[in-house]
Amino acid sequence: MSMQEIARRTGVSYATISRAFNQPEKVRPRTLLRIRELCDELNYRPRVIPNNLSTVSVIVPDHDHVAPIDGILLSYVVTELSRHGMPTVVATMQSLKSHPNVFQKAFIGILHEIDDEDMKLLRHYSKIGPFIAINDMADNIGPHATRIGSDHPDAVNQAMDRLIAAGHRRIAFVLRRLPVKGCNDRLDAYRKRMNALGGFDESLVFFNEEQYLFEGLRRIRDARPTAMLVGEAHLTLKVLHYGKLMDLHVPDNLSMITFEHAGGTQHLFPPITSVVQPIDDLGHAAARLILDHLAHPEQRKIKSQYLPYRLIDRESVRPL
């Protein structure tokens, strides 16, 4: 049961239903009685946050799209908002649709791949109040959203600097093809560095769907790289496993650097040199931005802010 269904059954608008719960004094007594009687009959009790209460809604993926980074980001965002006394409502895309009256003040989005229907809903909410999109969403959401993300090209350049300093020139690159800006930013930065080294070689690149990873790595192996940059933390374990099956052993005959955001690569064997995403800084910065927007709505809003990665040198890069 949802507020939309209550509106349909009572024959009034959704706005009237919302007012009945939030501002009942603005609804005609007879209409209000009809709404309340139907809610009692259906045992419907909406989760309503009064309109005079400032809240921040943190939008997270539905359960089938959750990534390891999401819970960590959520923790940092909520902790920072709570430290400043700001109530937080955690919302999934499904809850945005079923309980829209709850989410009405300010928004922080921790989302990844968004279909067209959900994107329309996010655009709607970005017009209601301040909207901070963490990572790669803001371009698609529209001009009302502010993006805060990580500096992906800088991360690639840090990794390439480390590999080049170790004498490597045949450097492979592995990344899933996803419809997000960060993927293209990483690939473009890698291509520029390889061109500067003497030429970009397509045979050293896997940029495709994950189901083709094994075949892609076999093609890369035949191109005889001496090093590899894994552009996504999610792929690290699979690349190591498939590589061993193909007699690619890190760091004996293949040096490796990977992206990292949720930890763990320091516990692999060997510990993997990584460019680490600044998760804590992302969460804190998103919270501070939304608080600034609420405190000073008249000020001009920044459109984007990118935070640097940090290179952690471990044992997976071997000098030539």
pLDDT for 237 equals: 94
Tell whether 316 is covered by a domain.
no
The residue with tokens 């009064």 is 50
Q: Are residues 247 and 292 in the same domain?
A: no
Reading the block at residue 131, the tokens are: 């909207």
Q: Are residues 63 and 107 in the same domain?
A: yes
CATH number at residue 179: 3.40.50.2300
DSSP letter for 274, please. E
Q: Are residues 157 and 234 in the same domain?
A: yes
Tell whether 163 is covered by a domain.
yes
Query: In angstroms, rounded to a whole number, what is the distance separating the alpha carbons of residues 132 and 14?
Result: 27
Tell whether 28 is covered by a domain.
yes
- Side-chain half-sphere exposure of 186, counting CA atoms within 13 A: 29
Question: Taking the CB of residue 160, how many other CB atoms lie within 10 A of it?
Answer: 23
pLDDT for 41 equals: 87
Q: Are residues 182 and 250 in the same domain?
A: yes
Alpha-carbon dihedral sign for residues 283, 288, 289, 291: positive
CB 273 within 8 A of CB 155: no
Query: In angstroms, rounded to a whole number, what is the distance separating the alpha carbons of residues 195 and 199?
Result: 4
Q: Are residues 102 and 195 in the same domain?
A: no
Residue 48 DSSP SS3: coil
Query: In angstroms, rounded to a whole number, what is the distance separating the alpha carbons of residues 89 and 93?
Result: 13
Which stretch of DSSP H or E encloses residue 58? strand 56-60
Reading the block at residue 68, the tokens are: 């390891």
Tell whether 320 is covered by a domain.
no
Q: Are residues 199 and 249 in the same domain?
A: yes
pLDDT for 263 equals: 76
104 Cβ neighbours under 8 A, 6+ residues apart: 49, 51, 55, 57, 128, 129
pLDDT for 231 equals: 95
Phi-psi region of 247 (alpha: psi -120 to 50; beta: other; left: phi over 0): left
Q: Are residues 64 and 145 in the same domain?
A: yes
Q: Are residues 38 and 95 in the same domain?
A: no
Reading the block at residue 81, the tokens are: 């908002």
Tell whether 48 is covered by a domain.
no
Reading the block at residue 277, the tokens are: 């995403």
Quote the Cα angle for 76-79-82, to 5°: 150
Domain total in the chain: 3
pLDDT for 317 equals: 98
Residue by residue, pLDDT tens for the chain (320 residues) are: 677 888 888 999 888 887 787 667 788 888 988 888 888 888 887 655 454 456 888 988 887 777 778 888 999 999 999 999 888 888 888 877 776 666 667 889 887 777 788 888 888 888 878 889 887 655 667 777 888 889 999 999 999 999 999 999 999 999 998 777 788 899 999 999 999 999 999 999 999 999 999 999 999 999 999 999 999 998 999 999 999 999 999 999 999 999 997 678 888 989 999 999 989 999 999 999 999 888 888 776 667 889 999 999 999 999 99
Q: Which of 244, 257, 238 is nearest to 311 (CA)?
A: 257
Tell whether 125 is covered by a domain.
yes
Q: Are residues 257 and 159 in the same domain?
A: yes
105 alpha-carbon distance from chain centroid: 21
Tell whether 161 is covered by a domain.
yes
Domain span at residue 247?
A: 152-277
Alpha-carbon distances, residue 56 vs 90, 143, 149, 284, 298 (angstroms): 8, 20, 19, 14, 18
Q: Which of 243, 318, 314 is nearest to 272 (CA)?
A: 314
Q: Are residues 288 and 139 in the same domain?
A: yes
pLDDT for 29 equals: 86
Q: Are residues 84 and 228 in the same domain?
A: no
pLDDT for 102 equals: 62
Q: Are residues 102 and 202 in the same domain?
A: no
Q: Which of 132, 150, 111 is nearest to 276 (CA)?
A: 150
User: Phi and psi of 114, rounded to 5°?
Assistant: -120, 130
